[in-house]
Structures are given as structure tokens and as C-alpha cells.
Amino acid sequence: MLLATVLAAIAVTVATTVALLLVEPTAPRSEAVRTGALSGGAVVALYALWLNDRRRRVEEDRHQLEGVKVADERFARSVELLGNEADQVRVGAMHSLVWLAGSTPRYKQTVLDVLCAYLRRPFRHPELLAERGAAGDAASDPDADREREVRLSAQRLIADLLPWGEDPDERLYHLDLSGACLEHFRLEGRRIGRLTARRARFHGITQLGQLEAAKPVLFTDASFLGRLDLREARLEGGISFRRTRFHGEVSLDRTAVATFLDISTTAPATQKGMPVIGPQTRIDGAVDGWAFAAP
């Protein structure tokens, strides 16, 4: 390119000089030569500008590649720290992953998958076992208490990552909490794609009010050991309560359900024996087998 540019500059200089001498024979030759030299210099200047732009783009690509490499290394390191014995280190690793998801959107679904995978790990706490009616000592267990706080942080961070309100993010993020042990789980007002919670155990109040789900919400074989709040939720992909066990109230006031995929369980009633269903509840699917009776 440099050799071609030099040859082009010489050719432009000679051609411009000759053209000026032929057009104005009486003009001074020095002026014609000066003008021709300026024309040739312009060609060299254009080549210099192109070369500078090319170097700039190469530098930008290099910085971008380095940024991707740093992000990948940070992600790998944070995931590794989730196995650390210290609870504060695990919480710090989770916050690092969430920060990475915020600065690098392509990681958001991956980070959600990692947090969900952490919640799917086996977990036993004396208080939760006592709540389920299982045999066990309800006394405080320091190790279980610390792990409990880590898991609550993971639940909160999942909710923080999901779009809600005026968030312009229109992508659909999926959650897989199959077999997870969740406590006071909250996704109020969040927009998600698919929620899979097969065989999950929900302790305390599960607040899913105003949840918007574009894909199916699956609670197959799940257990709700507290109240389930689905008020004003929009479940466009439908919901499945196959073999779902309820031990508390179910609130479906003004809930919009596209279809009930599978219902083979009973929902609890209030203390007065009336189901917690508001007068403006909208159910657009078949509800055969869905009964509201005292547990």
C-alpha cells in the first residue's frame, strides 16, 4: 500500500503539473510544479488518514478482546469462589457476578443460571424441617444459619437482575429452580420467560404478585408451605399445578392466566372455609379438577 501510494502521488503530481502547463502555457512553471506537488501530497495525506483509522480500529478491537478476556476470567473466578467455605466470600462472589451481568449484558442469563444452580443445592435447616413437620431439632445451627443467609442473598439478587417497571430490557430470562429450597421467595412485578420449579419447596410467603411470564410457569410436584400470592399476575404461557401441595392460602385476585396446563391438586381455603379468589379473577383456560377445599 505504501509503494502504491508513493507511485500514485508521483503520477498525480506529474499529471497535475502537465495539465496546468497545457491549460495555461504562460503561467510560471514553478506555480504549476508547486500545485502538482500539493496534489501529490494530498494523496499521501489521504493514505496517512486511512492508515491512522486502521490503527485506531485495530486498537479498539484489541481493547475489546482484552475486555472480553477480563470478563471471562472474572466470571470463572467468581464461580469458583461460590464453593468457598466462608459465607461472606460466597456472597461477595454472587455480587461480583451480578455486577458482571450489569456491565456485560451477554452474561445476564448465565449469571441467573448460576444463581439458580446454587439454590438447587441440597439444603437442610432445623427451622425449615420443623415447619415441614419433619423430625429434627429446631435449635439454631450456626452453619445452617450462615448458609441460609447466603441463599437469601441469592434469591434477592435474582430478583434484582430481572427486568421490571420501566426497565427497557425486553429479553426473556428463564429461571430453573427445580428441587430448590426457597424461603420468602419474591418476584413481584418482574418480567420473565419460563419459570421451572418442579419439586421445589417454598417456605414462608411466596410473593409472585404482578409477575409477567411469557412462557409456562411449572410447579409440578412443588410444595408451598406458606401463602402463595399470585395477585394481578399475567401468565401468558400458562401455569401447571400438577401434584402441587399447598399448606397455606392461594391468592389469585385479578390474575390473568392464559391456560391451566395441568391441575391435579387441591388449594387451601381461608379460615372461614372460602377460597382466596377475588371477584375479578380472570381464568381463560380449562379448570377441570381444580378444587378449593380445606387442606
Q: Give the mean pLDDT of 231-260.
A: 87
CB 13 within 8 A of CB 32: no
Residue 150: give the domain boundaries: 82-161
Q: What pLDDT does residue 284 have?
A: 40
193 and 288, same structural domain? yes
Whether 186 and 88 share a structural domain: no
The upper half-sphere exposure of residue 11, i.e. CA atoms within 13 Å in the direction of its Cβ, equals 6
Residues 232 and 281 in one domain: yes
What does the radius of gyration of the chain's CA atoms come to, in whole angstroms?
Answer: 33
Q: How far apart are CA 166 and CA 96, in angstroms?
A: 24
Please write the tens of the pLDDT for every residue from 105-158: 899 999 999 999 999 999 999 888 876 655 445 567 899 999 999 999 999 999
pLDDT by residue (tens digit) across 206-220?
Answer: 999 999 999 999 999
- In the chain, alpha helices (H): 2-23, 29-81, 87-103, 108-119, 126-131, 142-161
- Let me know if residue 67 belongs to a domain: no
Within-domain flag for 75:
no
Domain termination site, one of 92, 126, 161 = 161
Assess whether 137 and 246 both reside in one domain: no
**Domains of the chain: total:** 3
116 inside domain: yes
Residue pLDDT, tens place only, 53-85: 888 888 887 777 777 888 889 999 999 999 999
Give per-residue pLDDT as tens, 157-208: 999 999 999 999 999 999 999 999 999 999 999 999 999 999 999 999 999 9
